Amino acid sequence: MPWRETDDPFHIWLSEVMLQQTRVDQARPYYERFVEAFPTVTALAEAELDAVLRLWEGLGYYSRARNLHRAAKMVTEEFAGQVPATYEAIRRLPGVGPYTAAAVLSIAFDAPHAVLDGNVARVLARVFTIEEEIGAGRTRRRLQALADVLLNPDCPGDFNQAVMELGATICTPSAPACPACPLQSACGAYALGTPEAFPFSKKKAPLPHYDIAVGLIFDDEGRILIQRRPEDGLLGGLWEFPGGKREPGEALPETCRRELREELNIEVEIEAPFGTINHAYTHFKITLHAFRCRLVAGEPVSSRALPMQWVPIERLDEFAFPRANRRLIERLHYLQDNPSLFD
């Protein structure tokens, strides 16, 4: 992994942020592109947020990118471009919680801080047969205390990475490879013959599902209207086609017209359905229904004062969009290359 071959604190920090909630194989190309575009904290601090989000597009959890960008500015302004090497200082940076702080300090600076991520928690819960709900605060504190005691102060970075790696590659959530595990003789769950029974966790409720209707509104020059999401909240700072959630019992074209009326103060005529995209987020699923629309009354004015732009289709790739919107854009590009299919 490229981030294991560097001692640059910024690159280590970046990799730890990317690896939160993201698999190694998915994060790797993003990491490589990011480091190439922004090799230093200062380069990241000087970049436009749009450029940062565009490189992050598809990785999800966009607050990570926004926080990283804000934190880079803070490092540049308050720490002379050097990633802080103390726990108190690094925890002041936006988006740097106990896990990221411990990981960066131990790996980049050999500071004795034990990490507790999902992989480490699972390994410890199995080895010590912790029969408590893994997500509970009390359990996390108990696991953190265990990790603190176990940490080898002579090589904290190696120790942390070894336990994380063990959890990611051997002590996996299902079918752990116990015969290959160096902790087998010390592992309580293995001795009980029930490693997969640990850690204890509550059953997850099924994800709610929402239907979303969006309008693809073209102006006379063939440009399409996009709107930027508020910076705080889900997918914050990304661009999207305007629209919103279907109300109970509402027909989808009506949802589209109503949302555009409420959001942009315009009336549109639905010309044709453009496509349906299913997408799952962490806490819910959506079906995105897109409609090609014609503006029949009003000039778009955002009711929430959000930025808007009319953009030629060929320039849409310059903006960062959520995954489901990006799939609509791919379809727009295809139809642009094959205009006879537009009818």
Residue closer to ligand SF4, measured from CB, 156 or 176: 176
Total residues interacting with ligand SF4, rule: CB under 6 A = 14
Active site residues: 16
Beta partners for residue 216, in sequence order? 292
Beta bridge partners of 269: 294
Give the residue among 291, 219, 222 at the shortest CA–CA distance from 260.
291
Stretch that binds ligand SF4, among 29-37, 169-177, 204-212, 288-296 (CB under 6 A): 169-177
Shortest distance in whole angstroms from residue 189 CB to ligand SF4: 5
In the block, which residue shows the tokens 């999401």? Answer: 229
Q: Is 150 in the site for ligand SF4 (CB under 6 A)?
A: no
Helix/strand/coil for 177: coil
Q: Which of 12, 75, 123, 226 binds ligand SF4 (CB under 6 A)?
A: 123
CB of 195 to ligand SF4, least distance (A): 3
Which among 68, 5, 50 has a CA at the least distance from the CA of 228? 50
State the minimum distance, in angstroms, from the CB of residue 96 to ligand SF4: 29
Write the binding mask 170 to 199 for ligand SF4: x where contact by CB under 6 A, - elsewhere. xx----x-x--x-xx--x-xx----x----
DSSP count for the chain of H helices, then E strands? 13, 7
> Residue 128 CB, nearest distance to ligand SF4 (Å)?
10
Q: Between 127 and 212, name the residue whose CB sits nearer to ligand SF4.
A: 127
Using the minimum distance from each CB to ligand SF4, give the nearer residue, 185 or 282. Answer: 185
Q: Are 259 and 227 in contact (CB under 8 A)?
A: no
N residues, the chain: 343
CB of 168 to ligand SF4, least distance (A): 11
Task: Please list, in sequence order, all residues whose beta carbon lies within 8 angstroms of the beta carbon of residue 69, skipping any fewer than 6 positions away.
Answer: 44, 45, 47, 49, 52
Count CA within 13 A, CB hemisphere, residue 36: 8
Q: Which of residues 304-333 bind ligand SF4 (CB under 6 A)?
A: none
- Chain-centre distance for alpha carbon 214: 23
* Adjacent-strand bridge partners of 34: none
Q: Which is nearer to ligand SF4, 128 or 310 (CB)?
A: 128
The binding site for ligand SF4 (CB under 6 A) comprises 123, 126-127, 170-171, 176, 178, 181, 183-184, 187, 189-190, 195
